[in-house]
């Protein structure tokens, strides 16, 4: 084992033959551009260490973006016996450069190997039921407006394999601190609802990334979710009826009528424009 330091001085360990900080930094120097909105090199190291700890066979990412995180995750999976990497994005135009498709960096960073890569554009966490797959670990880096990170987490829980820690990593815990009008508070609200035994904030990225363990009974997750969904939503625009219907359907399929009711009450309260959210 070799020892490394995150920028905040926390010691971590990684297998000797795994990608090291300098390898990851070199990939960033080659591929990263301003506005790409990707994880930072030390956040990638945090993901690497979780993958080394859990050794997931099947990994899912929600929020492909450029594919920078995806390419790196594929390397980490290969180093630890992983087999598949699936990445979802709700569209297929990269927001950092409209001339490119989401995930365009996966192949240059991970040209191929033991890990099977599956890019799924025009897909969200709400499509997971149709995919009928199981995953061991997930990374959510998609819509950070509350309640999306919570909804993505609830959509993942039924599809996480039950025999492991069911680790779900979330990005942008500190986004809300950087925003004048606070839209991106979803990861923070989610993190705060979880008991300390089931959450870990990393110092990487200045404390911008964390992981949750979804290894818990449905009732316990429902109580967490009921509290989370009842905090004021921070959407730029209200969810359309078609979206709400799909969210309610997902909740009704996997959770109790109680949680369905709490979700419906929260939507009635929060899913509309007001001065607080628009800042107008
Ligand atoms: C910050 S980027 C992802 C960056 C990437 N994980 C990385 O580190 O390189 C967020 C992506 O999430 C996508 N997205 C936004 N809302 C989404 C949703 N509800 N479901 C799936 N993808 C979504 C956006 O299109 C965007 O490509």
DSSP code per residue over 198-257: GEEEESHHHHTEEEEE--S-HHHHHHHHHHHHTSPP--SSPPPHHHHHHHHHHHHHHS-H
Atom of ligand 1 nearest to the CA of 68: 9
Which residue has its alpha carbon closest to ligand 1 atom 19?
A: 143
- Asked whether residue 115 is domain-assigned, the answer is yes
- Asked whether residue 258 is domain-assigned, the answer is no
Which residue has its alpha carbon closest to ligand 1 atom 14?
A: 142
For residue 6, the model assigns a pLDDT of: 38
- pLDDT (tens digit, 0 to 9) for every residue of the chain, 280 residues total? 333 433 333 344 556 578 999 999 999 999 999 999 999 999 999 999 999 999 999 999 999 999 999 999 999 999 999 999 999 999 999 999 999 999 999 999 999 999 999 999 999 999 999 999 999 999 999 999 999 999 999 999 999 998 889 999 999 999 999 998 899 999 999 999 999 999 999 999 999 999 999 999 999 999 999 999 999 999 999 999 999 999 999 999 999 999 999 999 999 999 988 755 565 5
Total of domains in the chain: 1
The structure's pTM equals: 0.94
| Rounded-to-integer distance, Cα 122 and Cα 100, Å | 15
Look at residue 113 and give its three-state secondary structure: coil
Which residue has its alpha carbon closest to ligand 1 atom 7?
A: 38
For residue 178, the model assigns a pLDDT of: 93
Which residues approach ligand 1 with their CB closer than 6 A?
A: 37-39, 62-66, 68-69, 88-91, 95, 102, 124, 141-143, 148
Query: What CATH number is given to the structural domain containing 34?
Result: 3.40.50.150
For residue 278, the model assigns a pLDDT of: 60
Q: Which residue of 46, 64, 98 sits with most ligand 1 atoms within 8 Å of its CB, as the best mutation to test the pocket?
A: 64
> Which stretch of DSSP H or E encloses residue 58?
strand 58-62
- Asked whether residue 250 is domain-assigned, the answer is no
For residue 10, the model assigns a pLDDT of: 35
**Domain that residue 89 falls in:** 2-230
Expressed in angstroms and rounded, the spacing between residue 65 Cα and the centre of ligand 1 is 5
| Rounded-to-integer distance, Cα 152 and Cα 149, Å | 5
- Asked whether residue 139 is domain-assigned, the answer is yes
- Quick one: tokens of 218? 């449905």
- Asked whether residue 264 is domain-assigned, the answer is no
Expressed in angstroms and rounded, the spacing between residue 234 Cα and the centre of ligand 1 is 17
Which residue has its alpha carbon closest to ligand 1 atom 3?
A: 65
SS3 content of the chain, % helix, strand, coil (to 5): 45, 15, 40
Q: Which residue of 43, 90, 124 sits with most ligand 1 atoms within 8 Å of its CB, as the best mutation to test the pocket?
A: 90
- Asked whether residue 235 is domain-assigned, the answer is no
Look at residue 34 and give its three-state secondary structure: coil
Which residue has its alpha carbon closest to ligand 1 atom 16?
A: 143
- Asked whether residue 242 is domain-assigned, the answer is no
- Asked whether residue 51 is domain-assigned, the answer is yes
């Amino acid at each position: 084992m070799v020892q490394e330091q995150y920028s905040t001085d926390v010691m971590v360990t990684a297998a000797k033959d795994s990608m090291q900080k300098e390898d990851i930094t070199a990939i960033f120097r080659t591929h990263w551009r301003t506005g790409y909105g990707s994880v930072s090199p030390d956040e990638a190291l945090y993901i690497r260490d979780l993958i080394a700890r859990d050794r997931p066979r099947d990994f899912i990412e929600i929020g492909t973006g450029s594919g920078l995180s995806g390419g790196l995750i594929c390397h980490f999976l290969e180093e630890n016996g992983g087999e598949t990497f699936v990445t979802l994005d709700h569209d297929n135009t990269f927001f950092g450069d409209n001339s490119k498709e989401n995930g365009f960096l996966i192949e240059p960073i991970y040209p191929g190997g033991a890990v099977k890569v599956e890019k799924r554009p025009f897909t969200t966490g709400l499509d997971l039921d149709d995919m009928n797959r199981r995953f061991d670990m997930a990374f959510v880096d998609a819509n950070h407006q509350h309640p999306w990170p919570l909804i993505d987490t609830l959509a993942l829980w039924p599809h996480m394999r039950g025999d492991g820690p069911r680790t779900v990593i979330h990005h942008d815990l500190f986004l809300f601190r950087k925003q004048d009008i606070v839209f991106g508070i979803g990861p923070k609200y989610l993190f705060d609802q979880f008991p300390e035994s089931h959450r870990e904030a990393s110092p990487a990225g200045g404390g911008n990334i964390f992981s949750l363990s979804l290894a818990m009974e449905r009732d316990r997750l429902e109580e967490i979710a009921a509290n989370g969904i009842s905090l004021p939503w921070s959407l730029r625009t209200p969810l359309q009826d078609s979206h709400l219907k799909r969210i309610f359907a997902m909740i009704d399929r996997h959770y109790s009528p109680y949680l369905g009711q709490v979700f419906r009450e929260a939507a009635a309260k929060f899913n509309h424009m007001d001065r607080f959210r628009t800042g107008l």
